Amino acid sequence: MGLYSKLRAALAEDALLSRDVKRSLVDGLYQPFASLAVGAASGTIVATAAAFWSDDWAITLTAFAVGLIGLTRVLLARVYLTKGPEKYDRHEIWETYFSVGAFAYAASLGILSFLITTRSSNLALQVITPTFTIGYAAGISGRNAGRPLLAIAQVVLSAMPLSAGLLVSGDGERASLGILSLLFAYGMIDITLSTREIIVSALVTTREKEALAAKFQAQANLFDIALRNMSHGLCMFDARGRLQVWNDQFLSISGIPSSRIHTNSTARSLYKLSRAIVDERSAGRGSTLSTFAAASNALRSGNLVLILPDDRVVSLMQRRTAEKGYVIIFEDITERRRNEARIQQMASYDDLTGLLNRSSFKAKVSEALKASARSKGDFAVHLLDLDHFKVINDTLGHPAGDRLLQMVADRLRGIGALSGSVARLGGDEFVIVQQSVTSPAVAEDLARRVLQELERPFDIDGTHVTVGASIGIAIAPFHANDEDRLLKCADIALYAIKGAGRSGFKIFQHEMEAATRARHALESDLRAALTNGELELHYQPIVDSSTGAIVSCEALLRWHHPVSGYIPPSDFIPVAEDTGLIVQLGNWVLNEACREARKWPSTVSVAVNMSPRQFGDPQLAFHVIGALNRSGLPAHRLELEITESVTLGATHKIVETINKLRQLGIRLSIDDFGTGYSSLSSLRNFAFDKLKIDRSFVSDLDRKAESTAIIRAIVGMGRSIGMAIVVEGVETETQLSILRTEGCDLIQGYVFSRPVAAPQIRTMLAAAGPLTRLAS
């Protein structure tokens, strides 16, 4: 069949296509969007090259047209794709829009090819432009084959001018190429018509299959309904109220013997047969179902639920039929009712602690609000968050954390006034609803009792753990009169007490909201600071007390906010700890400190503080090894300072990590000694290289003899187990003299140097001689 005949057949078939198929064909013109966009972009690049490399005004103008039309088509496609389903009802208009753009683009591209082949001497353009045009024609023959006239017109408008340009060039070789391009265009037109036939056939077949599938689905639904109905008890009555169909399930549920039932029985007679069962269970409950009329009225008004003598629960449902009869379906819902009761129990209480859960808490607050509105009485919501729980969870493991939550719940339940008023919201957050709050002092008294109860140590498998708690309090209706706002006010107060140092309580005040927003903003800014280069490390020397030589430097994190300026670590480190960002922050510090220490003399090490949260990361050893490998720093020049909370009941994995770090040659120090949970047990169970005495023991060293005695005892203990002693926070010459007398090995503090930036510490390390005075 010739091309003309094929085209006529295609157009005749198109006229018979459904609107749905036509809409799909038009939709295919705009999709996939990527191919249209890439084609337009490629054409723009070719056009730009033509305009740039040619001095011919006609070529430049045509190239500009190619780029502009291409961009317009992309924008049109984007508009189409953002339209809702209503665009399919106007598919003829969208086809027209597309066709106009396609014709204009193909024609401008064809003209550009003609001008370049006839008027340009640039060999690159004479190769690139025809190649792109031929590729465009080839792509269009497949992409737009669903609308054959459009595709053929695009092939003709783009390829024919190119062929004409090659034929009139006067060059035999180009004339041959022109003839070949004509043959190519012919082939593309033939391919377009063949592809169109395949596309249309596939679409029509798909639509037919979808219609057939919908019919089958409808039949399947009907069958499924019948099947489900037959799994229950069923009886069907005709328009005269005579029984026509029933099943064994109906007999079993109703208790009617099969010998007593027959076709044409009336509903009234069936009711009389089973009335004894209904009366036995309903009369004692004040039921109105003791007559047939009552049962019929109940059924007509909706589902009817009966409790049988054997405690089964049966649901009855009546439905009218098309023949004006009706069907009654009986379902034994006994197990469902039992499951619903169990689910209700599970839905109301926390699985781990047995306390009320979040949804039950909200219901309780809603009840309290209603009661408060009636009696004009106030009540309080105490939002409680355990202090240091994440440390316990990370170091002792999740089973120990769960056990701690259960013990906390038991203690809260043990306070008589809280019976039934405690809920667990999730994680380590608990909430208390306190009734009859006549004044803020009443809420404060309860908060104190809770804190006192939780401050007592917990015994978790032989490990004594102290956590404490922070409590935020909101009073209704003074602070809020709806559940969500009330809890938010308590949450804001909780943030306030956390920011003030934890282990206490605060009652909500409106000015706290600004502080909470500032804390959230600080968290967001801190995340950005990691990627924006706002963080840097300063280094404070650790000096040999006998020689004055710098033997190590502690890396201390500094943050210079682009707007707020310098933000002290005491402001942002707690936020990082609470949000878990401390792990990412700690890894950055570790890498940066190792990289900088590699530039120092080989006798000087670097000390890096490690957060307890980092030791909860199973990849910690790999992070440390990676930092050493990337920087080239020898392992023995890295010191990791660990707080005592890490060693508190350390899990097998944490012990394994610590041992692996020691095997690599990394030195370990116990930081802030004497301020943690279990100092002596930490020294006994872990072989630390250094013991770092907290600055709190140094501040009044030159004023109180007791402080000197404490230092002397710690130094003696450390030396007896082979540990070097580091004292931090040394600020005066008097303190330094006392510490030297007591035999302290290493000194850190302002008496020698404040923390300084990396360039300054390098200068200090390069200078010969001991440090004998404050470095500025």
**Co-location of 334 and 400 in the same domain:** no
pLDDT, one tens digit per residue, over 699-748 is: 878 777 777 888 888 888 888 888 888 999 999 888 888 888 888 889 99
CATH number of the domain bearing residue 629: 3.20.20.450
* Predicted local confidence at residue 554, as pLDDT: 96
DSSP state of 416: G
> Among residues 566, 567, 539, 568, which one has the least CA distance to residue 758?
539
Q: With beta carbons less than 8 A apart as the criterion, state whether 245 and 236 touch.
A: yes
**Co-location of 154 and 38 in the same domain:** yes
Q: For residues 136 and 658, what is the distance between their CA atoms, to the nearest angstrom?
A: 65
- The neighbouring-strand residues paired with 431 are 383, 423
Q: With beta carbons less than 8 A apart as the criterion, state whether 632 and 598 touch.
A: yes
**Co-location of 561 and 670 in the same domain:** yes
Q: 151-170 as b/e, with b when 16 or more CB fall inside 10 Å?
A: bbbbbbbbbbbbbbbbbebe
Query: Would you say residue 224 lies in a domain?
Result: no
**Co-location of 500 and 581 in the same domain:** no
**Co-location of 163 and 20 in the same domain:** yes
The residues, ordered by sequence, that sit 6+ positions from 72 with a Cβ below 8 Å of its Cβ are 101
**Co-location of 76 and 30 in the same domain:** yes
What residues make up the domain containing 371? Answer: 348-508
Query: Would you say residue 566 lies in a domain?
Result: yes
Residue 527: Cβ within 10 Å count = 15
Query: Would you say residue 584 lies in a domain?
Result: yes
- Which regions of the chain are under pLDDT 70? 1-13, 15-17, 85-89, 145-146, 170, 190, 192-193, 208, 211, 213, 216, 219-231, 274-302, 308-310, 416-420, 645, 647-652, 674-686, 768-776
User: In this structure, is the dihedral angle defined by the CA atoms of residues 348, 354, 355 and 358, taken in order, positive or negative?
Assistant: negative
pLDDT, one tens digit per residue, over 633-650 is: 999 999 999 887 676 655
In three-state secondary structure terms, 37 is: helix
* Rg of the chain in Å (alpha carbons): 42
Helix (H) or strand (E) holding 544: strand 535-544
> Among residues 355, 428, 350, 426, which one has the least CA distance to residue 391?
428
- For the chain, the domain total comes to 4
Query: Would you say residue 228 lies in a domain?
Result: no
**Co-location of 333 and 352 in the same domain:** no
Residue 219: Cβ within 10 Å count = 10
Q: For residues 269 and 292, what is the distance between their CA atoms, to the nearest angstrom?
A: 9
Q: For residues 82 and 552, what is the distance between their CA atoms, to the nearest angstrom?
A: 63
- The neighbouring-strand residues paired with 237 are 243, 326
Q: Which of 486, 508, 530 is the last residue of a domain?
A: 508
Q: Which of 150, 175, 208 is the last residue of a domain?
A: 208
**Co-location of 273 and 240 in the same domain:** yes
Query: Would you say residue 540 lies in a domain?
Result: yes
Query: Would you say residue 215 lies in a domain?
Result: no
Amino acid at 284: G
CATH number of the domain bearing residue 325: 3.30.450
The gap from C-alpha 504 to its chain's centroid, in whole angstroms, comes to: 31
**Co-location of 93 and 160 in the same domain:** yes
* Predicted local confidence at residue 430, as pLDDT: 93
CATH number of the domain bearing residue 502: 3.30.70.270
**Co-location of 684 and 756 in the same domain:** yes
Query: Would you say residue 227 lies in a domain?
Result: no
Residue 143, CA distances (Å) to 198, 613, 672 in order: 13, 56, 72
Helix (H) or strand (E) holding 223: helix 172-230
**Co-location of 727 and 762 in the same domain:** yes
Query: Would you say residue 365 lies in a domain?
Result: yes
**Co-location of 574 and 694 in the same domain:** yes
